[in-house]
Structure formats: structure tokens, C-alpha cells
Chain A
Amino acid sequence: MSAHAPATNHHELPFIRKYVFSTDHKTIGVQFLFTTLIYLSIGGLLAMLIRTQMAWPWQEIPVFGALLYGPGGNVLLPEQYIGLVTMHGTIMIFFFIIPMLSGAFGNFLIPLMIGARDMAFPRLNLLSYWILWPAFIMILLALVIEGGPPSAGWTSYAPLSDLPTAVPGSGNGQTLWILSLLFIGAGSILGAMNYITTILLLRAPGMHLFRMPMTVWALLITASLVLLATPVLTSALILLTLDRTVGTHFFLPIGGGVPILWQHLFWFYSHPAVYIMILPAMGMTSDILSAFARKPLFGYKAMVFSIMGIAGLGFIVWGHHMFVSGMNPLLGTSFMVATMVIALPSSIKTFNWLATLWRGNIQFTTAMLNAIAFVSMFIIGGLSGVYGAATPVDMFIHDTYFVVGHLHYVLFGGSLFGVFAGIYYWFPKMFGRMLDERLGKLHFVPTFIAFNCVFFPMFILGTNGMMRRIADPYVYDMFKPLLGINQFMTYSAYVLGAAQLIFAINIIYSLMRGPKAAANPWQANTLEWVAASSPPLRHGNFETIPTVYRGPYEYSSPEVEEDWYPQNRPPAMPERVTPEPVIVPQPGGD
């Protein structure tokens, strides 16, 4: 223990309170990180099985088949296929992307980046992680329970999810799905309250709202989305449970219920949730691009207002998931216009990222490569969304692989590359050691290439009309010519999966053997780099709370010799009394 450590660090905590039931935001962040990485690998393995079926339907799966489906049962059944699709989507969205971005990065970064010692409510924070454990267990149980996993898709449309007899897996499996999502939602809401309170109340002196890094802005707005939208999902899940258990008919026509009501409630949550899944990655990418371009973020305030615009408009576009649902076509028109308008703030963000690189001094670290991949893949993800917004075009591509391609370009090409960038960038702060840059690039290059080989062909499948969630496309004569493309995608998916082993090796190796990280290895400006790598536990973080003098992106400022100018460094020109007039350079930021 260092002599400068804050007073709270006096007695050592027992292991279980230090690393298991910890109230320290950094420990909780790391717990989220590793838990969600485990779920990323489970979701990824499920994707491999889906791809295998698409390339070689109903064929025996060597070795793995017997492991998964028991001896003799190593051929996939149709109900198992839709179970795979459901579990892949559910795990990736609710057990990886959302808890990774908000849980892992939100917890770890918010107090450090705003100059606080911890979250506003550390015990609530502990609860927001551990309340997820029933969900973590139940969703795995759903894979093996009698009757099979839930099979109504990650969207679980009623009545398919409502009628225990409608599909194998809509009995026990669906019940576990509902229960685990209720716990996930509860955890998200607790976390969001904590993030908002912390950001609004615990900022270091001088950290005005418009001096906050984009990551913090994005997490703040994401938390507001979570707080407003998640209760709607929770209510829908409770209505569904009532239908399934006590005989109400909210989503069943027989008692006067309406199946489309589920879609409205579900997408009222899940469309804002799409932004919950991407905004934090946008924030992180903004910080990383600026740091490695050694240049101020272009249009900082426009970036903040764009995120606000996306979040606000995000609540009035949910109907674009329902253009062919039987909803009034007049509503379809208004949802289309709102959806097209939401492309505007996304366009502004893209232009600003590009302009940040313009006239920069770009360092191609692994974190930067992944952040650049985020930008270039998000362009494809965003533009492919326009097809779904255009109602007549959507009528053709709806429920086809075009949509699957679009969402993977946003969530893998966007969010996951953003997560990779974040891990490579903040790993030194989290663990006090550097990740290996060579292994990092060896991970990035095949991931980027294979990603495009898996997901770009999905647009071609979609323009051919090939539907998603079908266990065997080749039942249709019109999809038989697509077998070759599907096999190519599957081989690419195996390469993509294998490339992730390099990432895992890099993490394990660097945790043990990586070179020790300095406090500020990237020479970045924001406050987390003021704290030691890794910062002291027990609500320490900073020896003394830093004072903030400027915005987060003062790179290559003419005021200082170096090309970075940390937020907490006192101004370079102290108030000396000089007789002759001095032309003060225009300060940047706000």
C-alpha cells in the first residue's frame, strides 16, 4: 500500500469482498467483462452450428454433433435449429452486447473518466451485477431443459411464445427465457440509475458537462434510454407470463387480445435497445479515434447533440420492424419518415469521425485499427438500414437475410469492433499490463476479412428473397442456387471463429506476461489516464481528485510542446504579470 493511498484503504478486505462481492466499480466492470466474454463465446459457437446447418443441412456433424445432441443424435432437428437461432440472438444481445457495453465499460470507465472515486451507489452497483446471475444460470439451463430451448426467436413473437403447444421449447424453455430477461432488465435498470446519478453528481471540479469525453456522454444517454425503455419490456414479459400461466389473453385473439400488441411493446423497448447496443461503442470509438489521430474530435458538440437526437428519435421509429405486420399502412408511412430522419444524426457522426482523421497524425495501434473498422463497417450497417426503412423495399427484404446482414454489420461490424477497440485501449488501465500489439494485429486482420466474407453475402441472399430462421432453405427451388454462397460463408465463419482464439490467447498471455503498463501509455488526455494502471481498489482511483481545466480532446494544441494536453494539467501559461500584451491562443473545447 502506498503512503499516498486514501484513508479508506487502511485495512485489507477479505478475498471474497475484494474480488467476488465487491462494491468497487473497477472490479465489477472486470466481472462484467469476463462474464460477457464467456457469453460471447457461447453465442459464437451457436452461430457456428447455425452456419453448419446452412451449408450442409441435416448432415451429421462430426465429433461435435455427438457431444451436443448425444450419441446417435448427431443430426440437427428442425426444432433444434430454431432453438439455436433463438439462443444465439438472445445470448448475443442480452448477455453479451448490452452488459458488455454498459456493464463492463460503463462501470469501469464512468468514475475514472469523470474523476470520481466510485459510483454514487456502490452497493446498488454490486446488486446490478449479481442480480444477473439467476439470468446467467437460467439461460444456460434453457439450452438443456426438457422440451428444448426457447424457439420463438429472440423477438419471441406471440402467439408462438404464448402458446405452450405452438412449438417445442415454448414450454419450459420459453419460461426460462422470460425469467432470465426479467432479471437482465432489472440489472440494467439498477445500473442505469447509478450511471446517471454518478455522472450528474460526482464529476471532478471543472468537469463541466461539455468537457466530458464522448464515452461518458454516450453512456449517460444510453442509461437514460435503458431507464425509459426497459420497463416496457418488463411489462410485456409480465403480460406474456400472465397469458401463459393464469389464462389471460393479452396477445391471443380468442379472448379479444391482439398478437400485434406484443410486437408494439417489444419493439418499443427493442428499438431504443438497438441504440443501447451501439451508442456506447460510438462514444468509445470517438475517444479512441481522437487519441490516435492526435487531433481534437471534430464537431464535439454536434456529436453530443447527434447522440441525443438518435436517442430521442429512437423512441418513435419502432414501427419500422412492423411494416408488413398488418399495422395500418398510414402508420407505416410516418414510421418510415421518422426512420429516414434518424439516419441524419448517424450521418453527422460519420462525417465527424472522418473529419477527425483529416489532417491528423494517425497511429495505427490495434485499438485504432478496430476503431477504424467500427467506422467503415458502421457505414455499411447504417446504409443497409435505409433499405429496411423504405417501406416498399422493406416489403421485399423484410424477414430475409438482408436484414440479418444489416443487423450484423451494425452489431458485429459496429458494436463488436468497438468492444475490441475498447478492450485493446483500456486493457492497460484495467489490468496494469499491455496487450501484445503483434497478436492484436494478428487477431484484427483475419477478423476483419472473415467478418466481411461471412456477412456481406447475406445481402445477396436477401436480395434473392432467402428468409431468415429457416432450417433448410433448399426446400425451395428458388433458393437452391444459393448453396455455394452459403458454404463460402460457413467456411469464412469458421475462420472468423478461429481468429478469436488469438484474441483469447492474447488476453490470457498478457494478463500474466504482458509488459507493465505506465499510467498513460497512449499519451491520452482524459482523466482515467491520470490514475495509476491499474487504479487502487476500494474506491481509491486517484491520489487526489484531479481538477479539470479543459475539454477531453486537446491534442496537438499549440499551447504545449507535446501533442497531448491532459484535462487535469494546469494551464501552460500561468498568470504571470507581463508588461507587454500577449495574444492568448484561442482555447479549444467549449
Chain B
Amino acid sequence: MPWLPPNISTFGKDVDSLFYLVLAATMIAFVLTEAALFVFLARYRHREGRKAAYVHGHRNLEVTWTVGAGVLWAGLALIQVGTWWNIKGSFPPEDSSVLFELTARQFEWQARYPGPDRAFGAVDSTLISSGNPLGLVSNDAAGKDDIVGPINTVHVPVNQNILVFLRSRAQDYKEVIHSFFVPQLRLKQDAVPGLTIKVWFNAMQSGTYEIACAELCGLGHYRMRAMLTVEAQDQFNAWLQKTNAGQ
């Protein structure tokens, strides 16, 4: 039976152990309650001439299970906080991370790398056209060395902190919410028109993985798929150069 896809991200193992922790807690609760249900149904089925127990409650029993369940659920919440904060609330330093911007639009993804100056050129949604799908401002100095990747293709180096600036293109009115999802990275983040949302990951294993759109975005939602290639630093550099030369 297929199960959780293999994890390739540094924080993925924390996510997986929390998943298995929740699985263990809920499985124990499930087995105990359902077993009690079946035992009671079998043991106390109707028999002629017998009367049920006349019991309205049991204070100590009720206090015990209230406190027990309360401790279980509150504990299960608190134990999540560290991992959550590590993934969504704190970021690796920008100057030592690999940066790229990922723009989602109906129904494709496009990456842009900042080049040697580590700064992205300005974009202006009024400039968006079929020849300039990102709306790049051509005379912006910071944008001179930017490298725009091919559609639905993202490359990142292995074992490096990656900072993604996630955007949903806001061409006048006409863009909707998408969601960046790579199951093997254990990472999902909506791309919202009007916002640039920062996410980070560090992929530990080279290979090619599928990027999916996880938020309903229109009739082509199901085919809004891109490929993420995780590769060695020199391969990544070579790919960037080749892409730059092709522009």
C-alpha cells in the first residue's frame, strides 16, 4: 500500500515524526474507544427480563477522562509549535541562501533567479504581455542580470538553504490564488495575488520531483504541474548559465 512519499527535506523528518506521533495517539484512542463500543454492544445486548443499570454518571470517572483528554490534546498541540515555527516562522539568512522567485499564474509556474547581484529587478503588472509574462521592468539595473527560467522548470542545488519568494502574478485583476506543493519536501504554501510570501527549504537528495498546485485555481488546475530538479552545485551553475545564454 503506498504511503507517505519519501522525504527529501531537512525539516521533513520532523514533520514525519509529528505525523507518526499523531498517528500513534489517534490510533490508540481509536482502538480503545471502538473496542469499548464493541464489547459493550456484545455484552449488554437486550435480554428479556433484565433491566439496565440506573446510572446517571460517575463524577470521578468523568473528571479523570476530561483531564486525561485535555492533557493529551493540549500536549499534542504544544509539541507541534517548534517545528511549525522552524518551517514557517523563521528563515535562513538571506545572504547565505540560494534565492529565487516563483511566480504562479493560470496554469503554470515560472522561476526567476536574481543573478550575481542577488537582487531581483522590479516588476510591474501593467507591463505583462505574452512576450513579458512576468511584467519585468527592462531598464531596472537590478534586473539586468536576472535569469528567468523556462516555464514549469525549477532547478535548485542540493544541500543548500533555498529561499523562495512566492508570488501569484497580479495582472490587473486577473490572477487567482495558487498553492506551491512538493510532497517530498513536506512543504505547501499558497501564492496569493498582491503578496510576496517567503518560504524556505533545504533538499537533501538530488533528483526530479513534481511541483503541484494545491489550491483550486480554475479549469486547468489539475494540470498546473512543474518539475523541480535538485542537483549538485556545479550542475546547477551550468544550468543557470545555459538558461541565461538562451535568453
Asked if A159 and B173 sit within 8 Å, CB to CB, the answer is: yes
Q: Find residues 387-406 in chain A having any chain B CB closer than 8 Å to their own CB.
A: 387, 389-393, 395-396, 398-400
Contacts of A386 in B (CB 8 A): 22, 25-26, 73, 76
Q: Find residues 23-53 in chain B having any chain A CB closer than 8 Å to their own CB.
A: 25-26, 29-30, 33-34, 36-37, 40-41, 44-47, 50-53
Report the bound CA distance from A77 to B210 in whole Å: 24
Report the bound CA distance from A391 to B221 in whole Å: 25
Asked if B54 and A558 sit within 8 Å, CB to CB, the answer is: yes
Report the bound CA distance from A324 to B190 in whole Å: 6
Contact of B19 among A159, A254, A396, A476 (CB under 8 A): A396
Contacts of A543 in B (CB 8 A): none
Asked if B77 and A467 sit within 8 Å, CB to CB, the answer is: no
Contacts of A372 in B (CB 8 A): 37, 41
Given A324-B190, A358-B40; A393-B18 close (CB under 8 Å): yes
Asked if B173 and A163 sit within 8 Å, CB to CB, the answer is: yes
- Cβ-closest chain A residue relative to B194: A253
Contacts of B195 in A (CB 8 A): 253, 326
Contacts of A151 in B (CB 8 A): 218-219
Contact of A326 among B19, B47, B192 (CB under 8 A): B192
Pick the most buried of A361, A380, A391, A392: most chain B CB atoms within 10 A of its CB.
Answer: A392
Contacts of A589 in B (CB 8 A): 56
Given A350-B33, A467-B214, A556-B54; A344-B73 close (CB under 8 Å): yes
Contacts of A556 in B (CB 8 A): 51-54
Contacts of B18 in A (CB 8 A): 390, 392-393
Asked if A260 and B192 sit within 8 Å, CB to CB, the answer is: yes
Q: Find residues 55-112 in chain B having any chain A CB closer than 8 Å to their own CB.
A: 55-58, 61-62, 65-66, 69-70, 73-74, 76-78, 80-81, 83-85, 87-89, 106
1/0 contact trace for B151-188 toward A, CB 8 Å? 00000000000000000001011111101010100111
Asked if B57 and A375 sit within 8 Å, CB to CB, the answer is: no
Q: Find residues 249-298 in chain A having any chain B CB closer than 8 Å to their own CB.
A: 252-254, 257-260, 293-298
B242 contacts A by Cβ under 8 Å: no
Contacts of A159 in B (CB 8 A): 173, 175-177, 193
Contacts of A298 in B (CB 8 A): 55-58
Given A396-B19, A589-B56; A336-B80 close (CB under 8 Å): yes
B127 contacts A by Cβ under 8 Å: no
Report the bound CA distance from A339 to B88 in whole Å: 19
A65 contacts B by Cβ under 8 Å: no
Contacts of B186 in A (CB 8 A): 392, 395-396
A481 contacts B by Cβ under 8 Å: yes
Asked if B76 and A340 sit within 8 Å, CB to CB, the answer is: yes
Report the bound CA distance from A395 to B14 in whole Å: 12
B245 contacts A by Cβ under 8 Å: no
Asked if A395 and B37 sit within 8 Å, CB to CB, the answer is: no
B1 contacts A by Cβ under 8 Å: yes
- Cβ-closest chain B residue relative to A247: B173
Report the bound CA distance from A153 to B176 in whole Å: 13
Contacts of B84 in A (CB 8 A): 329, 332-333, 336, 391-392
Given A167-B219, A563-B51; A463-B62 close (CB under 8 Å): no
Contacts of A396 in B (CB 8 A): 15, 19, 183, 186, 188
Report the bound CA distance from A325 to B106 in whole Å: 18
Contacts of B47 in A (CB 8 A): 361
Contacts of B222 in A (CB 8 A): 78, 81, 470-473, 475
Asked if A330 and B19 sit within 8 Å, CB to CB, the answer is: no
Number of A-B contacts (CB under 8 A): 294
Asked if A341 and B74 sit within 8 Å, CB to CB, the answer is: yes
Report the bound CA distance from A252 to B173 in whole Å: 7
Q: Find residues 513-559 in chain A having any chain B CB closer than 8 Å to their own CB.
A: 553, 555-558
Contact of A300 among B1, B57, B218 (CB under 8 A): B57
- Cβ-closest chain B residue relative to A463: B4
Report the bound CA distance from A300 to B57 in whole Å: 8
Asked if B181 and A465 sit within 8 Å, CB to CB, the answer is: yes
* A interface residues, tally (CB under 8 Å): 106
Contact of B2 among A163, A257, A293, A481 (CB under 8 A): A481
- Cβ-closest chain A residue relative to B193: A253
Given A357-B41, A383-B30, A392-B14; A399-B85 close (CB under 8 Å): no
Contacts of A470 in B (CB 8 A): 221-222
Report the bound CA distance from A347 to B74 in whole Å: 13
Contact of A557 among B54, B70, B218 (CB under 8 A): B54
Contact of A295 among B25, B33, B55, B172 (CB under 8 A): B55
B5 contacts A by Cβ under 8 Å: yes
Asked if A390 and B29 sit within 8 Å, CB to CB, the answer is: no
Q: How far is the CB of A30 from chain B (nearest CB, A)?
A: 31
A505 contacts B by Cβ under 8 Å: no
A152 contacts B by Cβ under 8 Å: yes
Asked if A324 and B179 sit within 8 Å, CB to CB, the answer is: yes
Asked if B173 and A337 sit within 8 Å, CB to CB, the answer is: no
Contacts of B197 in A (CB 8 A): 326
A360 contacts B by Cβ under 8 Å: yes
Contacts of A376 in B (CB 8 A): 34, 37
Contact of B172 among A85, A254, A297 (CB under 8 A): A254
Report the bound CA distance from A291 to B105 in whole Å: 57
Asked if B173 and A362 sit within 8 Å, CB to CB, the answer is: no
1/0 contact trace for B202-216 toward A, CB 8 Å? 000000001011111
Q: How far is the CB of B105 from chain A (nearest CB, A)?
A: 12
B123 contacts A by Cβ under 8 Å: no
Given A340-B74, A362-B41, A396-B19; A82-B221 close (CB under 8 Å): yes
Contact of A391 among B30, B54, B80, B219 (CB under 8 A): B80
Contacts of B218 in A (CB 8 A): 82, 151, 160, 166-167
Contacts of B46 in A (CB 8 A): 294, 361-364
Report the bound CA distance from A476 to B66 in whole Å: 45
- Cβ-closest chain B residue relative to A256: B194
Contacts of B170 in A (CB 8 A): 253-254
Contacts of B52 in A (CB 8 A): 293-295, 359-361, 555-556, 563
Asked if B217 and A160 sit within 8 Å, CB to CB, the answer is: yes
Contact of A460 among B2, B65, B216, B217 (CB under 8 A): B2
Contacts of A324 in B (CB 8 A): 179, 188-190
Report the bound CA distance from A469 to B3 in whole Å: 20
- Contacts A463-B3, A469-B221 given; 6 further ones with Cβ under 8 A? A159-B176, A252-B193, A326-B195, A343-B69, A359-B55, A361-B46
Supply 9 A–B pairs (Cβ within 8 Å), ascending by A: A166-B218, A254-B194, A295-B52, A330-B89, A344-B66, A390-B18, A392-B83, A395-B87, A472-B222
- 9 closest Cβ contacts across the A-B interface? A253-B194, A465-B183, A340-B77, A359-B53, A470-B222, A295-B52, A347-B69, A329-B88, A79-B219
